[in-house]
Structure 1
């Protein structure tokens, strides 16, 4: 099968293209013909080797977590059959999205939202599941609470604005001047231009959801109201959560200690700090598909690249300032270009 793969750890020069063996579906797995996939920032860190202790790779390694495609084979009782259009978030330990075939447990699959193209559907799983789980389970966001979303025009932020409005929050979101109109179109109550405005001036916030982190983390924590919750895509703070995804206890404790100062800063405000933990979940993807079909959630695509330009897509993502998600065409239906 055609695939884009990593030949080792490193920069974009380790991205290669060629033919690799098709995955062998286990008795309980569904085989999916992949039509489209989408890229996520964590893949850049994985490629660079930053997660070797957490997720050591065997090379050649097919990266990628988000897929949309069509069922080729499915076991009896799985709830799926040949020809079903589906989408999914692949497990972190296996990945494999940038190839023509994937084998996946049926519990991780959901039917593709009606009315979406495969490109649009493939843009959703990681960002939508990450946000859904962050806002509902970790932040416990309540109707009427004030929420700040950092990088509201990006892949995570553009979905977060919509889901937060569905959950009834008052949403402030940051972006550059060129994307202020997009923030408002997505439903933000307050669009903040980070080039000329300070998000602190519009707080305090009950919840901060931060896909940028870095220098913004401490500022975001300082903008929390008493009892506020900060969810940042900066690192996991929960040792037991890290161990639940297979990390040895010693490494889990060391990883959690790396963000302990943020936990302490939030606690000083009677608040909480939470890192990200995306859980593949077909049932939640079905919930999100229903929101799409009800008009409450719309994908935002930056551009589409063919499979043999994955390295260029990674470079575009690394450059920052994307407007929604970058999608990879697996089935060969499109050329490179901005999404319509």
Structure 2
């Protein structure tokens, strides 16, 4: 991949043209680069990127919710992409006003991970007051937001992480934090209502053991032999991909303003070093999100 000049996006009647100031980098981005997310050969040049924060530079004729000069953020249409660029055209239904308390870099780290966490806990399963919830990867981009959202929903929150990140996860609101390197979560937990899995592999397999009968495992990683596992453990299990949703993003912005949600930013790269940013995300083990900063 390379940084090059391409035409400015065409602005449709419902589009908001965002002059980007920052873009979030996600595992899906390096999978797209490698061709794993499409059965068809990629059309080149392909401008990738799935979440953006910036300033409205132009609006389409039918746009009523935003004005030129608004500071906004969005999870762009996954069929379109384009966030790793100076300008991004996004349908107004996917856009929300950026929280004033966040920098552009912080705001760009929120849409994909935040909507994933929100939809996992409020749509894929209905977490409410007193629910006992286990969140794997409590310091990751998705997991760190899921801990805070579960706390907002008044659940009893348990999270797994490494020893050097336990205090961060506690500050985010976890009632119990487990060091996955020294303690086996399935040996100390039982009878949970919900497990939100962001890890997959053996961690996902062992998670079935800690659910109560009728509990739910929600994962962003595919679950092998899902029907057999649901029957064996007498639980519900599902995997899902988040969808862009401007109203939900605006709700998350409100949680930020209320002091109930704070994105965790790990590393910021300039746009010219996008390849390095993708390599970092591919290695995994992140504490929070990786973001690109885009010069005005």
**CA displacement at 1:205 relative to structure 2:** 1.6
Distance in 2, matches of 1:36 and 1:52, equals 26
**CA displacement at 1:266 relative to structure 2:** 2.2
Distance in 1, matches of 2:283 and 2:184, equals 23
Aligned to 1:191: 177
| Alignment pair present for 1:264 and 2:228 | yes
Aligned to 2:159: 173
Aligned to 2:145: 159
**CA displacement at 1:62 relative to structure 2:** 1.0
Aligned to 2:59: 74
CA 1:137–1:281: 2 relative to 1, 3 Å: same
CA 1:142–1:264: 2 relative to 1, 3 Å: farther
Distance in 1, matches of 2:182 and 2:41, equals 42
Distance in 2, matches of 1:116 and 1:62, equals 26
Gap regions ≥5 residues in structure 2: none
Aligned to 1:249: none
Distance in 2, matches of 1:263 and 1:123, equals 34
Any conservation in 2 of the 1:218–1:262 contact (CA below 8 Å)? no
Q: Give 4+ residue runs of structure 1 displaced > 3 Å after superposition.
A: none
| Alignment pair present for 1:107 and 2:93 | yes
Aligned to 1:124: 110
Q: Deviation digits for residues 162-208 of structure 1, max 9, x if unmatched? A: 00000111111111111111111111111100110011112332111
Q: Deviation digits for residues 230-274 of structure 1, max 9, x if unmatched? A: 111113xxxxxxxxxxxxxxxxxxxxxxx4612331233231111
TM-score w.r.t. structure 2 length? 0.95
| Alignment pair present for 1:94 and 2:58 | no
Aligned to 1:240: none
Aligned to 2:127: 141
| Alignment pair present for 1:291 and 2:255 | yes
**CA displacement at 1:56 relative to structure 2:** 5.7
Distance in 1, matches of 2:41 and 2:210, equals 37
Aligned to 2:284: 320
SS at match of 2:4: strand
Q: Deviation digits for residues 37-59 of structure 1, max 9, x if unmatched? A: 01111222222222223x76321
Distance in 2, matches of 1:50 and 1:319, equals 17
Distance in 1, matches of 2:28 and 2:267, equals 18
SS at match of 2:3: strand
Calculate the aligned-residue CA RMSD, in Å.
Answer: 1.4
Any conservation in 1 of the 2:11–2:59 contact (CA below 8 Å)? no
Alignment of 1:225-264 (within 5 A): 225-235=212-222, 259=223, 261-264=225-228
SS at match of 1:17: coil
Q: Deviation digits for residues 46-88 of structure 1, max 9, x if unmatched? A: 22222223x7632111111110000011135421110000000
Q: Count residues with an aligned counterpart.
A: 294
